[in-house]
Structure 1
């Protein structure tokens, strides 16, 4: 943790805390816990949020996507301000809707500090499991995450597109592996 540069106090920096939690379990088990066990730990944590599905439905409501967009726009503004002061230089950059989607919510994350640190310290085999957990929250909201690449797996960015889990758009991605 001492090596991690200033990511700021923001919603994105909290992702690093998830990563450290996974590493703590991994190290405490003397590397006996594999990625599948780590997925199960995260799944159980997200399962405690299933009650949200009573209020949030990515098929019928647009407000969750609008809230995400508003939240990420706020993050972008904060990040710009901090970067101008030489802070948050190693945090994720967010590009909103670069694919010009008209349904759901789409964004790309660029410059994953988790992937960078994991590769520097020999933890890259755990990265795909961390990335897969992004799909869990979508399920709580009756949505699906369509993702074709992550930086952890060698992509240029981590692409996110959340759409309702009953969206006809998902048909085109039905064979897409959850990464």
Structure 2
């Protein structure tokens, strides 16, 4: 994947704010000083899924977070990386920039569902050029929310290809964290990162009880 400065410029300042909560100035300097180079190396190793792929940000941001672990000289392990992602994605300024959403609103949830179908259409139209991008499947049998699942995920594939499959489940947590910012809940039974045959996404508003 080609490095694009916009992802680094957008997220890195908030990661730095999160790092300052848990690490001293020397450690923050070490981690921040090496992360961008590590990020570029990671992108070079990743499958090209298309810079204009509407899902590409998911891969970019996952590898960006991972670059801080790679640059930490052992100071950030798997659990620390989980916490770093949680701290970053709970930053009120970042949440404001990401926009306030509420998937308890049927119109907003329907708009999200359409977006996922559009993303799937893009993937299939470009499947020959970018064969490793996400493979969407949809199931409308659920009465509540939006349901879909992936049978191919370039994020899980990246970590498996690099012999780091044990780290892949960490990045599944980003799904829960980002869904939460839209006042929604993610109900899930399987992930490719854990060796299952799919990653399932059942997304409903956080006010929905006993979803069907």
Structure 1 runs not aligned, ≥5 long: 173-179
Matched position secondary structure for 1:110: strand
Matched, 1:70 2:111: no
1:38 aligns with 81
Tell me, in whole angstroms, the C-alpha distance in 2 between the residues paired with 1:18 and 1:81: 24
CA contact (8 A) 1:53 1:141 kept: no
Aligned length: 167
Matched position secondary structure for 1:91: coil
* CA RMSD, Structure 1 to Structure 2 (Å): 2.3
Structure number with greater Rg is 2
Quick one: higher RCO (CA 8 Å, sep 6+), 1 or 2? 1
* TM-score, length basis structure 2: 0.70
- Tell me which protein shows more helix as a share of its residues: 2
The runs of at least 4 aligned residues of structure 1 exceeding 6 Å deviation read none
Tell me, in whole angstroms, the C-alpha distance in 2 between the residues paired with 1:66 and 1:50: 21
* TM-score, length basis structure 1: 0.82
Structure 2 runs not aligned, ≥5 long: 1-42
Tell me, in whole angstroms, the C-alpha distance in 2 between the residues paired with 1:26 and 1:136: 19
Give deviations 1:122-162, integer Å, cap 9, x for gaps: 22222221101211122222211001010000111100011
2:161 aligns with 120
